Amino acid sequence: MFATPAMAQTAAAAGAPMGGPQDFLMQIAPILLLLVLFYFLLIRPQQKRAKEHQALITGIKRGDTVVLSNGMIGKVARVEETEVGVEIATGVTVKVVKSMISDVRTRGEPAAANDTKA
């Protein structure tokens, strides 16, 4: 009903040669474009964040204030090869795996304006 004889006729039936390099390139181009797009939008930023996090973790030193992945904030009391001793309250020190530290706040970071502590 909607197909006319001209639309139903294929290139092979018309006598044209089948599949050249241009046809193959036109079929593979959208896939390559998607791969490049995924690399720049997903893979590359994730690798950059991972490198920054690794540099942050390797730079941890005693006295730094850290934020753990569960949201707890503490002060680094001791640094070991794969673990860190974090003081979460006065006299309470816990061992934490370095990879579970999400942020490092150094000693010189100013307090927030709405913080009532002096």
Provide the residue type at 70 as one letter: N
Asked if residue 70 belongs to a domain, the reply is yes
> Which pLDDT belongs to residue 20?
84
Residue 36 burial (CB count, 10 A): 10
Residue 33 pLDDT level (bands cut at 50, 70, 90): very high
Asked if residue 6 belongs to a domain, the reply is no
Domain that holds residue 88: 59-105
Asked if residue 76 belongs to a domain, the reply is yes
Asked if residue 1 belongs to a domain, the reply is no
pLDDT digits (tens, 9 = 90+) for 15-32: 555 678 888 889 999 999
Question: What is the three-state SS of 10-72?
Answer: CHHHHCCCCCCHHHHHHHHHHHHHHHHHHHHHHHHHHHHHHHHHHHHHHCCCCCCEEEECCCC
Residue 117 pLDDT level (bands cut at 50, 70, 90): low
Answer whether residue 108 shows pLDDT above 80: no
Which CATH number characterizes residue 63's domain?
Answer: 2.30.30.100
Total domains, the chain: 1
Asked if residue 64 belongs to a domain, the reply is yes
Asked if residue 24 belongs to a domain, the reply is no
* Portion of the chain with pLDDT greater than 90, in percent: 65
Q: Are 76 and 84 in contact (CB under 8 A)?
A: yes
Least confident of 19-28, 57-66, 68-77: 19-28
